[in-house]
Structure formats: C-alpha cells, structure tokens
Amino acid sequence: MAIKTKFGDTEFQVGDTIGVHHTFKAGPSKKGEEGKAQSQVFEGIVMGIRGREENKTFTVRKISFDGVGVEKIWSLNNPSITKITVKKKGTARRAKLDYLRSRIGKLALKAGIRETAVK
C-alpha cells in the first residue's frame, strides 16, 4: 500500500486536499460540429493510493452541493489529467481513509480528527 505518490513535480499523499485538472471532450452543440475539449477541476481529499509503477491509482472524494459524497478513481498515467495541485496538506495515520465515508458535514472533510470526536 502506497501512502505517497508523485505526478510530474507534484508530490501528494493520503489525506491531502488536491485539485485534479482534467480535460474531456464535450458533445457537439450543433449538427455537424465536433465536440470541443473542455477542462474541469475535481477537488477533494485523497482517500487512498494503490498499485505500483504504471498501474498506480488514487481515489479522490469530495462532498457535492447537496451533501452527497462523490468519489472518483484516477489512474496516474491517465492522459486526460493535465495537472494536480495540492490545496492543503493532511496528516493521515492510515493508508486508506475509508472511515470518512460515514462522516457527515465538516467532519467528512477533515482527515486528521479521531473518530471518537464524532457523536
């Protein structure tokens, strides 16, 4: 189980809040037109990193507008990822932060708090 990984010059670890900049092809707006490439940022907490070398993947979880958790699993060698930025460093004592799934509200966004604090 990996705890740290590197994408280009950016190094991040489990518990960090990161922004994943990725591009995708949007559908055509009119008939006969091709879809344009758009970029979007998915910002959330790194829940876990697995694999080694070119098979390495990482899971990012964010809380959407209605309080619903959304997770995405990214491959490090995915050509659609253009950049990864670290917004906030986290302190995690575990390789996988699966316990964040059961948290509600602001506590779901904080990785360094003990589970006994949740009531």
d(CA 114, CA 40): 33
CB 84 within 8 A of CB 68: no
109, two tokens: 């966004």
pLDDT at residue 119, rounded to an integer: 41
pLDDT per position as a tens digit, 43-73: 999 999 999 888 999 999 998 888 788 999 9
pLDDT, mean of residues 34-39: 82
Supply the pLDDT for residue 112: 63
Mean pLDDT of the chain: 85
Pick the CATH number of 4-25+35-110 from 1.10.10.10, 3.40.50.720, 2.30.30.790, 1.10.3720.10: 2.30.30.790
Nearest to 99 by CA among 58, 57, 45: 45
Neighbours of 12 (CB within 10 A): 21
